[in-house]
Amino acid sequence: MEEVRRLRSFPVADIGSLDWFSAQQNIMTLHGAIVSEMQHGVLSPSARLVQEEDKTDILVQEMISLAAWKRHVLPEIKHKDTIGQVFPIYSILFYETVYSSVLLSVMYCHENDLVTLFEEEVLCELMDHCVAHLVLLIGMTNKKTPLNLNPTLSEEDNNLTNAERINRFEQDLEYQVSNILLSILRLIIDHLEDLSLSLLTRIIQHHDVAMLLVHLVENQAWLNKDVEGNKLKYTDSWTKVKPEDRFLLSKYEAQAWKMLLDLLLHPKCAELYEISSYRQQELLKLEKHLHEIIIDQFPALQAFRHWFAQLKMTSGRNVAAKPLIVEIETGSIHNKLERANWPAITDNIIAMLNSPEYLSEIAAKHSDVYVNFEKYYTEGKDRKKGKDGQDGSKEGHLCGSCQERAKFRCSRCKDVWYCNKTCQVKDWDVHRKYCSV
The reply to whether 134 and 27 lie within a common domain is yes
Q: Is residue 11 part of a domain?
A: yes
Report the distance separating Cα 37 and Cα 99, nearest Å: 17
Report the distance separating Cα 91 and Cα 105, nearest Å: 21
Across the beta sheet with 223-225, what order do the strands follow? 223-225, 231-234, 238-240
Contact 221, 142 (CB under 8 A): no
Query: Residue 359, exposed/middle/buried by CB under 10 A (0-12, 13-18, 19+)?
Result: middle
Q: Is residue 42 part of a domain?
A: yes
pLDDT at residue 81, as a whole number: 76
The reply to whether 353 and 399 lie within a common domain is no
The reply to whether 344 and 226 lie within a common domain is no
Q: Is residue 164 part of a domain?
A: yes
Report the distance separating Cα 410 and Cα 434, nearest Å: 12
pLDDT at residue 390, as a whole number: 38
Letter string b/e over residues 309-327, b meaning 16 or more CB atoms within 10 A of that residue's CB:
eebeeeeeeeebeeeeeee
Contact 320, 268 (CB under 8 A): no
Q: Is residue 50 part of a domain?
A: yes
Q: Which amino acid is at 419?
A: C
Q: Is residue 412 part of a domain?
A: yes
The reply to whether 66 and 185 lie within a common domain is yes
pLDDT at residue 415, as a whole number: 66
The reply to whether 175 and 308 lie within a common domain is no
Q: Is residue 436 part of a domain?
A: no
> pLDDT tens track of the chain, all 437 residues?
688 999 999 999 999 999 999 899 899 889 988 888 887 666 788 888 998 899 999 999 999 999 999 999 999 988 887 777 788 898 899 999 999 999 999 998 887 888 888 888 999 999 999 999 999 999 999 888 888 776 554 445 567 788 888 888 888 899 999 999 999 999 999 999 899 999 999 999 999 999 999 999 999 999 999 888 888 999 888 889 888 787 888 889 999 999 999 999 999 898 889 888 899 999 999 999 998 888 999 999 999 999 999 998 876 555 555 554 445 555 578 888 888 999 999 999 999 988 888 888 887 766 655 445 444 444 444 444 444 333 333 445 667 776 677 777 777 666 677 787 777 777 776 666 556 43
The reply to whether 157 and 10 lie within a common domain is yes
DSSP string of 102-166, one letter each residue: HHHHHHHHTGGGGGGGS-HHHHHHHHHHHHHHHHHHHHHHHS---B-SS----HHHHT--HHHHH
Contact 46, 66 (CB under 8 A): no
How many alpha carbons fall within 13 Å on the CB side of residue 41? Answer: 22
pLDDT at residue 396, as a whole number: 53
The reply to whether 229 and 363 lie within a common domain is no
Single out the residue of 159, 161, 168, 170 nearest to residue 73, CA to CA: 170
Q: What backbone phi and psi angles, to 5 degrees, belong to 6? A: -85, -5
The reply to whether 203 and 292 lie within a common domain is yes
Q: Which of 323, 349, 365 is the last residue of a domain?
A: 323
pLDDT at residue 57, as a whole number: 93
Single out the residue of 209, 195, 30 nearest to residue 105, CA to CA: 30
pLDDT at residue 288, as a whole number: 92
**What is the rounded (10 degree) CA torsion for 368, 180, 192, 316?**
160
User: Cα 139 to chain center, whole Å?
Assistant: 18
The reply to whether 179 and 228 lie within a common domain is no
Single out the residue of 42, 99, 45, 27 nearest to residue 70, CA to CA: 99
Query: Three-state DSSP class for 408?
Result: strand
Q: Which of 323, 348, 367 is the last residue of a domain?
A: 323
pLDDT at residue 368, as a whole number: 56
User: Cα 142 to chain center, whole Å?
Assistant: 21
The reply to whether 79 and 115 lie within a common domain is yes
The reply to whether 78 and 50 lie within a common domain is yes
Contact 192, 266 (CB under 8 A): yes
Q: Is residue 34 part of a domain?
A: yes
Report the distance separating Cα 20 and Cα 253, nearest Å: 36
Number of H helices, E strands in the chain: 20, 5
407: containing domain: 394-431
pLDDT at residue 248, as a whole number: 86
The reply to whether 260 and 308 lie within a common domain is yes
pLDDT at residue 383, as a whole number: 45
pLDDT at residue 409, as a whole number: 75
pLDDT at residue 387, as a whole number: 40
| Domains: count for the chain | 3
Single out the residue of 168, 97, 182, 184 nearest to residue 133, CA to CA: 182
CA distances from 348 to 10, 15, 17, 21, 67 (A): 16, 10, 9, 15, 18
pLDDT at residue 111, as a whole number: 79
Q: Is residue 26 part of a domain?
A: yes
Contact 236, 97 (CB under 8 A): no
Report the distance separating Cα 65 and Cα 334, nearest Å: 8
Report the distance separating Cα 342 and Cα 65, nearest Å: 12
